[in-house]
Structure 1
Amino acid sequence: MGALSDRLEGRLLTLLAVATSATLVLAFYYPVGTVLIEAVRVDGVVTLGVFAELLRDPFYFGEAARLFAGESPVAVARAFLSPDRRLGIVGFTAYQAALSTVASVALGLPAAYLLARFEFPGRRTVRSLTIVPFVLPSIMVAVGFVATFGRNGTLNAVLGALGLPAVDLLFTLEAIVVAHAFYNAPLVARVTTAAWESVDARAVETARSLGAGPVRAFVDVVAPQVYPAVLTGAALTFVFTFGTFPIVLALGGFQLATVEVFVYRLVRDLSYAEAAALALVELVISLGVLLAYLRYEARHTVRSRGARPLPRRSLLPATPTAREWLPRVGLAAYVVVAALVFLAPIASMILASVTGGDGALTLEHYRFLAARQQTGAAFQVRPWPAIRNSLAFGVGATLLAVPMGVVVAVLTTRRYRGRKLVDAAAMAPLAVSGIVVGLGLLRGLVFGVEVAGWRITASGAVAIVVAHAVAGYPFVVRTVAPGLEGLDRSLVESARALGASRVRALRDIELPLVWPAVVAGAAFAFAISIGEFTATVVLATGGDVYTMPIAIERFIGRRLGPATAMGVVLLVVTGCSFVVIERLGGESRGL
């Protein structure tokens, strides 16, 4: 019996890997595959007609469509250089993603420099907060930007008080780019700060001792170790903003629609074949960038073991020199810009939730939500079901995403042939449209799938939990994998030499050492589930399984006040959930 138990324990990791793979196939690859197949299969006939027609359509590909139609590359290049060139939906999506990437890097790099090179009160807290915008629900941030930059927003109120003309940034490319920078600049700052802190001070000291000045030492020693992290953040930003949906839908509308918005519109119009073909184009571009990122990351992994980090300088020295004042003045200007981008939307949303049409403080928007809860019709969105559903889906998605993420993290940190392929396959949900995932689950799990004569169906709530888990588990992988990769392998080898199985060593040695990363991954998964909108808007259509982001979207189309009040509720629930998860993680670490 003991031998059988040992044999099962030895095969447990393999069984967990098989179970995780089967879950991914059923919850992600099969639904996505069935949707994408519709791009090349119409009425039961395999054809590339829909895809070819899409490529030759200037509405989608602009001047590049002429290249697919057979025109010479020279003529197409001249058309691109002309002032009246057409980008098409795909071209515009790539253009706004590129602008958003530049804006995110421009805002993220000064923050990384501030956190890595200066010491000041609250530095650790500020660094911890750099990840908060990235996990805030996007539809909530969109409401904040409407409250800030709208015609009656906070910005125009301030401009009016100063006697300046009003501006309306809604439904403009600038609003979309700034909103994307709100999300992704903290991500760039976080990964770049980590790389900056991994620079070995001894290498810089050696360069200085050989006669290099501060600028030359930075260019030759520091920059080569930092720019891979900058490129990593830029690649991730491009992927995220290329597949953007809620931000563009709320701040740009169909006037500035991206590929994701048009996929949603085609799905809503039941044009599944055209939607699948367009989604396939989006997948190829996003997955290509993601694969390049994973390959680059594997080649430029920062190794900080044994390095002595650069010393931090005081941000406010007692007697600063003229040279020391210059970077501090620049940082002060940056703080003003960062406050406008990062703090104003959240503050404006909170202010708008307690402000009436006449500018007076009021709780009428919260009273509206309470009244809707008591007297709302069955077809109307009510606050409590939205809160209850969001919490229930978040818990379910986290319980599914964390084990999957840990297993994939273990598999992708082991040395074997094909590891990069496994890593790329596991990270594919980052590059696939949430609309496509939602549509695949809707037409698969919800409508039912025939298997060996049995029809397997699931409720919309189960499909939403599955979609949220698929969206969240890659973040668990990217949080846990670096910790496993950096562990001292001699500890595991010693346990194995003493007779511990592979699973026993993982359970008793590796996971306890990376437990904070597991808890952080759980917080990520839960926050992503709470704020997920793209797949949920497909799966919640016509049902009572709507979530808080869906409720906000339905309110914002009618009344901004209740939408901001619901956004504040979502902000409170998200914040409290983070605290609870971190407390539970802290208690578990003490056991």
Structure 2
Amino acid sequence: MGGSKTGSDSTPGTEDGVSDDVDSGGPTAAVGQRLAALADRFDADLLTLLAVATSAVLVVAFYYPVATVLVEAVVVDGAVTLAVFAEILRDPFYVGELARLFAGESPVAVARALLSPDRRLGIVGFTAYQAALSTVASVALGLPAAYLLARFEFPGRRTLRSLTIVPFVLPSIMVAVGFVATFGDRGTLNAVLATVGLPPVDLLFTLEAVVIAHAFYNAPLVARVTTAAWESVDASAVETARSLGAGPTRAFYDVVAPQVYPAVLTGAALTFVFTFGTFPIVLALGGFELATVEVFVYRLVRDLSYAEAAALAVIELVISLAVLLAYLRYEARSSVQSRGVRPLPRRPLHPPALTAREVLPRVGLAVYAAVAALIFLAPIASMILASVTGGDGALTLEHYRFLAQRQRTGAAFQVRPWPAIRNSLVFATAATLVALPMGVVVAVLTTRKYRGRKLVDAAAMAPLAVSGIIVGLGLLRGLVFGVEVAGWRIAATGAAAIVVAHAVSGYPVVVRTVAPGLEGLDRSLVESARALGASRVRALRDVELPLVWPAVVAGAAFAFAISIGEFTATVVLATGADAYTMPVAIERFIGRRLGPATAMGVVLLVVTGVSFVVIERLGGEYRGL
């Protein structure tokens, strides 16, 4: 069209021609540039796409199931009503003496009834009462540990501090088996008391056993957050107070205590929320005689009383969220910046010579060590011992042989060991593969400065405040039973719902493990990568994640361990023997024979420990949390 071309070097289709076409910015180069631009655009928008995908998973796996429970509580037979709530609030069985207030009696008369010795607490009141007692016990047990770790230097201190994370990866139902083996009629404690001529102690199926078991879980939490706060106290402020004439006690109350007690309140608030929504510990150690709200919701679900169960679960959720909101508001007001401070020096635990003033704290720590050993070490050791001990006290492997026999000859409806182990590993692997990318994406979003970040953080962390019973009930009534969408019925199997529930419970831990590492990175590294042309996702992949990789692997280990030991939502969703996990198998065994339950508990302990170690070994060491 524009004149003839001569010469082989300009002939279209030849090698040289193509080369000239590219070099001169012809059609091929234009296509390549468009593809590169699309790739850059996709790379730039990938983080947004991942955020949208994570939000969609949360909506399907968490917010929709929880909303289903809310709807179930207020929509009965197709009509919106608050009648179920009204019945619960007027029933002394649920709210005790407060029912008289909702029935129209004067607040003064209700207050007198609450102060009387024969007052009725109801299910909700008893749940709050045991949570308060568990909080006091956890703080009383956790504070001396924080004092020991923060103020003294001794061999193994860092190892001991690392071990405070152990209760978070131990399945609660396994710990319950350990407490039964320790404090039961034929438990280790009574065996020791009998050898020294003391009468037996009957702690099993009592409130005391429940409180001690809760302290086992939550005292390390109190110790951990308080130790971190204690180590953040500026030594120069204490030295200034001493130079102005304050004695050691006055300096502690005026300088150290105001910086430490917010952390104590943080641990106390979280402990109350966790123990208010308790389920496996009470179910195993208290039964329905000491039923909390969670246990009774589970019982209502088994009785197919879904509306009543949903309403009671909503009341529990409101109370838990109210306590958590109060804690978050307090934390926002009392947050202390600890960067750049010089921590208090630690004293040697075993100095060459002790003054009279230094003897008393060390004697108190020795007493505390004995009590802590009984509470923290005895349950696990007793479970292992009971798994290899027969009824006559002789060493035996009969309990493990029972598990092997059940595996070979058990009926289809019975819980068999290998399917439970297999299901636990498969569910945990699948849940980790879902929870890990979700947690990393949310950690990235919550460590960036933008408007509405706190709202995103609160929305993403909501699963921490919602009990597994509520999530399990919502998934059961929604995804498992099926949902009608545009004429199509969408339903998930119980196994898929279990994986979803485990991922929801595990991903907030990934967030809290990865986010501190991302916040502590040198931002100039990311800015340099961006200045060299890297997209936001490329900088995250090539710069940030490699630097916080140990934290990512630690988050995966925690998510895996949480899934392995999850019981609350699993027991609701495990509708058949093919979906039973190791914690569910232990619960089935513990109601019939303690020996096989302890043997299965040891198997769960080994699987959890090996899995946790393997995942951490693959990614390196992490000292966070």
TM range (shorter): over 0.9
Q: 1:195, 1:302 within 8 Å by CA — same for their partners in 2?
A: no
| Residue matched to 1:411 | 445
Greater CA drift, 66-75 or 18-27: 66-75
Q: 1:93, 1:242 within 8 Å by CA — same for their partners in 2?
A: yes
Residue 452 in structure 1 maps to residue 486 in structure 2: yes
Residue among 218, 226, 229 paired with 2:252: 218
Name the CA shift for 1:269/1:59 in 2 (closer, same or farther; >3 Å). same
| Residue matched to 2:378 | 344
Q: Deviations over 1:219-242 (max 9, x none)?
A: 122112211211111111111100
Residue among 364, 381, 386 paired with 1:330: 364
Name the CA shift for 1:109/1:490 in 2 (closer, same or farther; >3 Å). same
| Residue matched to 1:489 | 523
Name the CA shift for 1:487/1:216 in 2 (closer, same or farther; >3 Å). farther
Residue 32 in structure 1 maps to residue 92 in structure 2: no
Q: Secondary structure at the match of 1:477?
A: helix
Residue 386 in structure 1 maps to residue 440 in structure 2: no
Name the CA distance, whole Å, in 2 between partners of 1:292 and 1:351: 44
Q: Which amino acid aligns with 1:293?
A: Y
| Residue matched to 2:198 | 164
Residue 289 in structure 1 maps to residue 323 in structure 2: yes
Q: TM-score, normalised by structure 1?
A: 0.97
What displacement does 1:214 show?
Answer: 1.1
Name the CA distance, whole Å, in 1 between partners of 2:329 and 2:514: 19
| Residue matched to 1:197 | 231
Name the CA distance, whole Å, in 1 between partners of 2:521 and 2:330: 22
| Residue matched to 2:106 | 72
Name the CA distance, whole Å, in 2 between partners of 1:250 and 1:417: 46
Name the CA distance, whole Å, in 2 between partners of 1:469 and 1:149: 34
Q: Deviations over 1:150-205 (max 9, x none)?
A: 11111111111111111111111100000000000011111111111112222222
Residue 571 in structure 1 maps to residue 605 in structure 2: yes
What displacement does 1:419 show?
Answer: 2.2
- The count of aligned residue pairs is 589
Q: Which amino acid aligns with 2:66?
A: V
Name the CA shift for 1:296/1:419 in 2 (closer, same or farther; >3 Å). farther
Residue 188 in structure 1 maps to residue 222 in structure 2: yes
| Greater C-alpha radius of gyration | 2
Quick one: percent identity of the two aligned structures?
88
Q: 1:287, 1:428 within 8 Å by CA — same for their partners in 2?
A: no
Greater CA drift, 436-445 or 386-395: 436-445
Q: 2:412, 2:577 within 8 Å by CA — same for their partners in 1?
A: no
Q: 2:550, 2:622 within 8 Å by CA — same for their partners in 1?
A: no
CA RMSD of aligned residues (A): 1.6
| Residue matched to 2:496 | 462
What displacement does 1:414 show?
Answer: 2.3
What displacement does 1:588 show?
Answer: 12
Name the CA distance, whole Å, in 1 between partners of 2:618 and 2:403: 31
Q: 2:225, 2:264 within 8 Å by CA — same for their partners in 1?
A: yes
Q: Secondary structure at the match of 2:484?
A: strand
Name the CA distance, whole Å, in 1 between partners of 2:291 and 2:163: 31
Residue among 266, 269, 281 paired with 1:247: 281
Name the CA distance, whole Å, in 2 between partners of 1:220 and 1:268: 54
Q: Deviations over 1:399-424 (max 9, x none)?
A: 11111111112222222332222222
Residue among 155, 159, 163 paired with 1:125: 159
Q: Secondary structure at the match of 1:427?
A: helix
Residue among 549, 552, 555 paired with 2:586: 552
Residue 4 in structure 1 maps to residue 49 in structure 2: no
Write the mapping of 1:509-520 to structure 2, written as runs, cut at 5 A: 509-520=543-554
Q: Deviations over 1:523-581 (max 9, x none)?
A: 11111100000110011123411000011000001100000000001001111011101
What displacement does 1:446 show?
Answer: 1.9
Residue among 87, 99, 120 paired with 2:121: 87
| Residue matched to 1:177 | 211
Residue among 342, 355, 363 paired with 1:321: 355
Q: Secondary structure at the match of 2:578?
A: coil
Residue 108 in structure 1 maps to residue 151 in structure 2: no
Name the CA distance, whole Å, in 1 between partners of 2:541 and 2:38: 19
Q: Deviations over 1:321-357 (max 9, x none)?
A: 2212111110000000000100010011011001000
Greater CA drift, 409-418 or 314-323: 409-418
Q: Secondary structure at the match of 1:306?
A: coil
Q: Deviations over 1:237-264 (max 9, x none)?
A: 1111000000000101111100000000
Q: Secondary structure at the match of 1:70?
A: coil
Name the CA distance, whole Å, in 1 between partners of 2:241 and 2:551: 36
What displacement does 1:131 show?
Answer: 0.9
Name the CA distance, whole Å, in 1 between partners of 2:437 and 2:407: 36
Greater CA drift, 243-252 or 438-447: 438-447
Greater CA drift, 250-259 or 374-383: 374-383
Name the CA distance, whole Å, in 1 between partners of 2:61 and 2:563: 15
| Residue matched to 1:261 | 295
Q: Secondary structure at the match of 2:340?
A: coil
Q: Which amino acid aligns with 1:43?
A: D
| Residue matched to 2:12 | none
Q: 2:414, 2:577 within 8 Å by CA — same for their partners in 1?
A: no
What displacement does 1:35 show?
Answer: 1.9
Residue among 287, 307, 310 paired with 1:273: 307
Q: 1:291, 1:424 within 8 Å by CA — same for their partners in 2?
A: no
Greater CA drift, 471-480 or 559-568: 471-480
Q: 1:198, 1:302 within 8 Å by CA — same for their partners in 2?
A: no
Q: TM-score, normalised by structure 2?
A: 0.92
Greater CA drift, 349-358 or 399-408: 399-408
Name the CA shift for 1:588/1:349 in 2 (closer, same or farther; >3 Å). closer
Q: Secondary structure at the match of 1:581?
A: helix
Q: Deviations over 1:71-104 (max 9, x none)?
A: 2211111111111111111011011001101100
Name the CA distance, whole Å, in 2 between partners of 1:7 and 1:66: 64
- Structure 1 unaligned blocks of 5 or more: none
Q: Secondary structure at the match of 1:565?
A: helix
| Residue matched to 1:307 | 341
Name the CA shift for 1:472/1:588 in 2 (closer, same or farther; >3 Å). closer
What displacement does 1:497 show?
Answer: 3.6
Name the CA distance, whole Å, in 2 between partners of 1:65 and 1:588: 50
Q: 1:402, 1:476 within 8 Å by CA — same for their partners in 2?
A: yes
Residue 476 in structure 1 maps to residue 510 in structure 2: yes
Residue among 425, 434, 445 paired with 1:400: 434
| Residue matched to 2:50 | 16
